Amino acid sequence: MSNSPFTPGIVAGRLPDAAYARNFADHEPPLDAHEARVAADRCYFCHDAPCITACPTAIDIPLFIRQIATGTPEAAATTIWSQNILGGMCARVCPTETLCEEACVREAAEGKPVEIGRLQRYATDVAMAKGLHPFTRAPRTGKRVAVVGAGPAGLACAHRLAMHGHDVVVVERRPKAGGLNEYGIASYKTTGGFAQKEVEWLLSIGGIEIRCGVELGRDVTLAQLEAEYDAVFLGIGLAGVNALRTPGEDKAGVRDAVDFIAELRQTADLSTLPIGRDVVVIGGGMTAVDAAVQSKLLGAENVTIVYRRGQEKMSASAYEQEHATSAGVRIICNAMPVAIHGNGAVREVEFAYTRETPEGLKPTGETFRLKADQVFKAIGQTLAGAPEGLAVEGGKLKGHQGKVWAGGDCAAGGEDLTVTAVAEGRDAAEAIHAALTAG
C-alpha cells in the first residue's frame, strides 16, 4: 500500500487490503434462526396492519412473521414473494424506516419497530438457500410480451407474466440484468453477488428470455416490439442525469454519482478503484448518501455532502443521514454550488448559502469554498431514451397507452424505490394479462 487517505488526487489503494473487505461487508448482517424467532415474537399480528398499508407491494407482513415464529420460514418466503418477487432485495435495500417499520405499532409504542426488513431477509434467504421457488407457470397462452429493461420493474413484470403462462422476452441495454439492483445501491447493502443470484432464481420459473446489450432506440424500436409482441412493458428507469449548470462542471474529477456507484458495483477488487482525497457530493438523496459513504469506505480523507435545501427536505431518510454521518461523512445543508474551480481538474467547489423564500430558493449572499479533488453530482435522474410519441406527464411516462405499459422509475406515480418498481411491474403484468386474456 503506497497510498493513504492523505495522498492527494484521485488514487486507488488508499487502505490496507483487509480494510476493503471489512468496509464493504454486509452492513446489516442477517439474523440467525434464534434472532429471527426473538424478533418475530415481537409482532402483534395487528388487524388490517398498518405495515401492510405502508408497503408499496402490500406484503402480508404479520402473516409472514407469524410463519417465521412458528418455524416455517419457507411459508413466510412464499407469502412475501406472492406480493413481491424481489422480496430478498427489498429486504436489503428498502428504506424500511420510512415504510413498514415506520408504520409498525411498536414504533408508536416503544420507538422500536419489529425488524420487518431483517425478518423478510431471513425468510427469503432461508428459502432461497433451499432452492425453493414456490411458483409454477400456468399453461402457455401463446401470447408474447416484450419487457424493456431488466430492472426491478421489468423483472417483476416478467415473472408475473411468465406465471400467467405468457412468454416473455426482456431486452436490457447493460451487460447484466438487475438494473439498479446490480448497478445502483451501495455495495454493502447487497453483498455476495446477491443481485445476480436473485435474477437467476427469479428466472427459474421459466418462460423468460433475457437479451442483454440490446438498447431500445438503438438496437430495436418500440414500433418493432409492438409489431412483434402482443404487449410491451417499459421499465427503462431514469437513464438521464440532471446537470448542475454550474460553471466548471466540465472539469476533470467531476462525475455523476450514479456512474461512480455503478463502477464500484462492477469492480471486483475495490483496492483498484480510485477515489479522491477530498470528495464533495452534491445532492440530498439516497444516491448522494451511497456515493458519499462508499467514498469514505474507499479511504477518502474528507467527504462532504452538500444539499441546497434544509435538512428536513433531504430525501435520504434520517436513518440514512445518520448512517452517513456515523461513517464520517459531513453533511452541509442550505448551500448550492455556484462555481467549480481548478486548472483543468477540480480543486475547489464554491457554494452559496441559501434560504427558502416564497419565490423559491435564494442565495443569502454568503459563500464558502470546499477543497475537492473529486465531485459527485447526485441531484436527480431524468427520463432519457424514451421512445418518441409516448405521452409524458411530469417528466415520466404514462402507465398505459395502447399496447404499451410502463412501470418503475420511468413511470408516473409512486416514489422512485425498488419496492415501488416491483409493485408497478407486477401490477402492469396483471393489467397486461387481463388485456391479453379478455374476450
Partner 1 sequence: MANLSSEFIGIKSPNPFWLASAPPTDKKYNVERAFEAGWGGVVWKTLGSEGPPVVNVNGPRYGAIWGADRRLLGLNNIELITDRPLEVNLREIKEVKRKWKDRALVISLMVPCDEDSWKDILARIEDTEADGVELNFGCPHGMAERGMGSAVGQVPEYIEMVTRWVKKHSRMPCIVKLTPNITDIRRPAEAAKRGGADAVSLINTINSITSVNLDSFSPEPSIDGKGTHGGYCGPAVKPIALNMVAEIARNPETHGLPISGIGGVTTWRDAAEFMALGAGNVQVCTAAMTYGFKIVQEMISGLSQYLDDKQIALSDLVGRAVPNVTDWQYLNLNYVTKARIDQDVCIKCGRCYAACEDTSHQAILMKPGRVFEVNDAECVACNLCVNVCPVDNCITMVELPKGAVDPRTGVKVGDYANWTTHPNNPSVKAAE
CB contact set of 28 (below 8 Å; sequence gap of 6+): 92, 118, 189
Select from 5, 9, 50, 380 the one that contacts partner 1 (CB under 8 A). 50
Burial of 234 from C-beta contacts in 10 A (0-12 / 13-18 / 19+): buried
User: Torsions phi, psi of 392, nearest 5?
Assistant: -125, 130
Q: How far apart are CA 290 and CA 293, in angstroms?
A: 5
**Residue span 309-338 as binding mask against partner 1, x where in contact by CB under 8 A, dash where not:** ------------------------------
Q: Which is nearer to partner 1, 37 or 197 (CB)?
A: 37
Decide: is 42 part of the binding site for partner 1 (CB under 8 A): yes
Residue 252 sits in the site that holds partner 1 (CB under 8 A) = no
38 binds partner 1 (CB under 8 A): yes
- Separation CA 110–CA 251 (nearest Å): 50
State the DSSP H helix or E strand holding residue 209, giving kind and residue range, or none if neither.
strand 208-212
Binding residue for partner 1, selected from 2, 6, 18, 47, defined by CB under 8 A: 47
The nearest distance, CB 48 to partner 1, in angstroms, is: 6
Q: In terms of CB distance, is 44 or 368 closer to partner 1?
A: 44
- Asked whether the beta carbons of 409 and 402 are under 8 A apart, the reply is no
**Choices 93-101, 102-110, 225-233, 286-294; region in contact with partner 1 by CB under 8 A:** 102-110
Strand 302-306 and strand 278-282: the pairing is parallel
DSSP secondary structure string for all residues of 343-392: SSB--EEEEEEEEEETTEEEEEEEEEEEE-SEEEE-S-EE--SPPTT--E
- Positions 370 through 389 that interact with partner 1 (CB under 8 A): none
Gyration radius of the chain's alpha carbons? 22
Chosen residue from 45, 175, 322, 430 binding partner 1 by CB under 8 A:
45
**Among the candidate windows 47-55, 252-260, 284-292, 331-339, which touches partner 1 by CB under 8 A?**
47-55
Out of 41, 200, 219, 228, the only residue in the binding site for partner 1 (CB under 8 A) is 41
Tell me which residues in 130-169 interact with partner 1 (CB under 8 A).
none
Q: Is 250 in the site for partner 1 (CB under 8 A)?
A: no
Contact 314, 321 (CB under 8 A): yes
Residue 374 corresponds to which cell in the numbers above? 473529486
In the numeric block, the cell 435474477 is attached to 199
Helices (H) and strands (E) in the chain, counts: 17, 18
By CB under 8 A, name the one of 49, 119, 177, 314 that touches partner 1: 49
Look up cell 379478455; give the residue.
438
Q: Does 109 bind partner 1 (CB under 8 A)?
A: yes
Instruction: Choose which of 106, 189, 330, 341 interacts with partner 1 (CB under 8 A).
Output: 106
Q: Compare residues 46 and 214 and give the one whose CB is closer to partner 1.
A: 46
> Is residue 111 a contact residue for partner 1 (CB under 8 A)?
no
Does 66 bind partner 1 (CB under 8 A)? Our answer is no
- By CB under 8 A, is residue 108 in contact with partner 1? yes
Instruction: Mark the segment that binds partner 1 (CB under 8 A) among 100-108, 184-192, 220-228, 309-317.
Output: 100-108
Q: Which residues of 397-420 are buried (b: 16+ CB within 10 A; e: fewer)?
A: bbbbeebbbbbbbbbbebebbbbb
| Region near partner 1 per CB under 8 A, out of 43-51, 91-99, 133-141, 372-380 | 43-51
Contact partners, residue 133, CB within 8 Å, separation at least 6: 201, 204, 205
**Span of 39-47, 169-177, 259-267, 307-315 interacting with partner 1 by CB under 8 A:** 39-47
Residues that bind partner 1 (CB under 8 A): 37-38, 41-42, 44-50, 105-106, 108-109
